[in-house]
Homo-oligomer: A and B are copies of this chain.
Amino acid sequence: MKSRLIHEIQGERTFVLILDINDEVMASLVQFAKTNKLGAARFTAIGAFRNATLGFFDWESKKYLKISVNQQVEVLSLIGDVALTDGEPAVHAHVVIGHSDGSTRGGHLLEAHVRPTLEVVLIQSPAHLHRQFDRESGLALIKDIMTRETLAAGTARMGNRGPSYV
């Protein structure tokens, strides 16, 4: 994977990430997030995979069912975000893939190998999104958001939360 910073303004940074043939997507994105200490980011991507494992969250069992994709597919849409779980950046991404006849499948992205390329645009925001364990779903959901300004101002005064807008 290659990456470049293509714009930066007041702590918001826009990166282009180019994943190469055989790169594993989730591992590459997590490594990038950790190396660059991302506390909050969003991304979109298009490209192609040579295989993938997708997930569907089954509300009854509270587990991800796995969907195997063992063929070359177009990546029609990859949308995701980065937030902190237990202080470490975690990547959450959903994907729609396309087959040779134009039919599509999709799910929560668990794993995928690129072929020949994946073009990602990732925007880092100067904030920290935090995932916390949610008892009802059994998942780590984004529950609270602290901005760097809030952290600098002190959590005692601000009540541990940034400004709310609705």
Contact = CB atoms under 8 A, between A and B. Distances in A.
Interface of A: 1-7, 9-12, 14-16, 18, 21, 31-32, 35-36, 40, 42, 44-46, 48, 50, 54, 56-59, 65, 67, 69, 72, 74-77, 79-81, 92-96, 98-108, 115-117, 119, 121, 125-127, 129, 134, 136-137, 139, 141-145, 147, 162-166
Contacts of A125: 6-7, 14
The secondary structure that dominates the A interface is strand
Most chain B beta-carbon neighbours within 10 Å: one of A36, A54, A104: A104
Contacts of A93: 46
Contacts of A116: 134, 136-137, 139, 141
Contacts of A165: 3-5, 15, 32, 35-36
Given A42-B121, A65-B100, 4 more contacts: A46-B94, A57-B74, A77-B94, A77-B96
Contacts of A105: 98, 102-104
Give the 5 A-B residue pairs with the shortest CB-CB distance, closest first.
A116-B137, A6-B127, A4-B145, A67-B102, A102-B105
A116 B137 CA distance: 6
A120 to B, nearest CB: 10
